[in-house]
C-alpha cells in the first residue's frame, strides 16, 4: 500500500496498483457506497474527509499517496484491532446500514425536513429543491 513508486521514481509498483484495486473493490461493497456511489478518499491530503467517486479516488492514490499509517481501514468499515488477554490481535469487518453511514449534516437536514426521508435528486420535481441538493452535494467536496 505504501510501496508506491518503482526505483528511480518512474512508474507505480505492481504491489501498489494491486493494493489500490483491492481497496476500491472492498470499499465498493460497503452499503454506504451503494447508497450514494461515493466513499471517503484516503489520499494523504484528503485524510478520509472528502467523499469522492471511485475513479477520482483511484487517480488521487495513483498520483499521490495513501494517508500515512492507514493500515486498518477504520473510515471504510474496518474495526480497530483489539487485544484479548487469551487471544492475539484480531480484525473484524463491520457492516453498516445506509442510515449509519450518512454524513451527519445530511442527517440533520433530513431530520428537520421530514423524519426518515431519503430522496434522490432524480426524484425531485421542484427546481429549488433540486438546486439545494446539488449545493449540498457540492459542499461535500474540498475546496
Reading the chain (143 residues) residue by residue, the pLDDT tens digits are 545 555 676 777 778 788 778 878 887 887 766 667 777 777 767 666 677 788 887 777 777 766 656 655 555 555 555 555 455 555 554 454 554 554 565 666 656 665 445 555 455 456 777 777 777 777 777 76
Q: What pTM, to 2 d.p., does this model score?
A: 0.43
Smallest CA-to-CA distance from 12 within 26, 27, 2, 22 is with 2
Q: Which residue has the cell 468499515?
A: 77
Question: CA 85 to CA 32: how far, in whole Å?
Answer: 34
Tell me the C-alpha distance between 12 and 62, whole Å.
8
- CA dist 43 and 59 (Å) reads 10
Name 108's Cβ contacts closer than 8 Å, sequence gap at least 6: none
- Nearest-angstrom CA–CA distance, 24 and 42: 11
* Residues comprising the chain, all counted: 143
Contact (CB, 8 A) for 37 and 53: yes
Average pLDDT, the chain: 65
Amino acid at each position: 500500500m505504501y510501496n508506491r513508486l518503482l526505483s528511480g521514481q518512474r512508474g507505480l509498483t505492481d504491489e501498489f496498483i494491486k493494493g489500490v484495486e483491492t481497496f476500491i473493490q472492498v470499499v465498493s461493497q460497503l452499503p454506504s457506497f451503494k447508497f450514494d456511489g461515493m466513499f471517503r478518499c484516503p489520499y494523504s491530503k484528503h485524510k478520509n474527509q472528502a467523499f469522492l467517486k471511485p475513479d477520482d479516488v483511484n487517480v488521487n492514490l495513483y498520483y499521490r499517496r495513501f494517508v500515512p499509517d492507514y493500515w486498518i481501514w477504520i473510515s471504510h468499515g474496518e474495526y480497530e484491532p483489539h487485544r484479548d488477554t487469551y487471544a492475539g490481535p484480531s480484525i473484524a469487518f463491520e457492516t453498516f446500514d445506509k442510515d449509519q453511514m450518512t454524513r451527519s449534516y445530511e442527517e440533520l437536514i433530513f431530520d428537520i425536513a421530514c423524519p426518515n426521508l431519503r430522496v434522490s435528486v432524480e426524484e425531485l420535481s421542484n427546481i429549488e429543491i433540486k438546486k439545494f441538493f446539488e449545493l449540498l452535494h457540492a459542499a461535500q467536496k474540498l475546496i
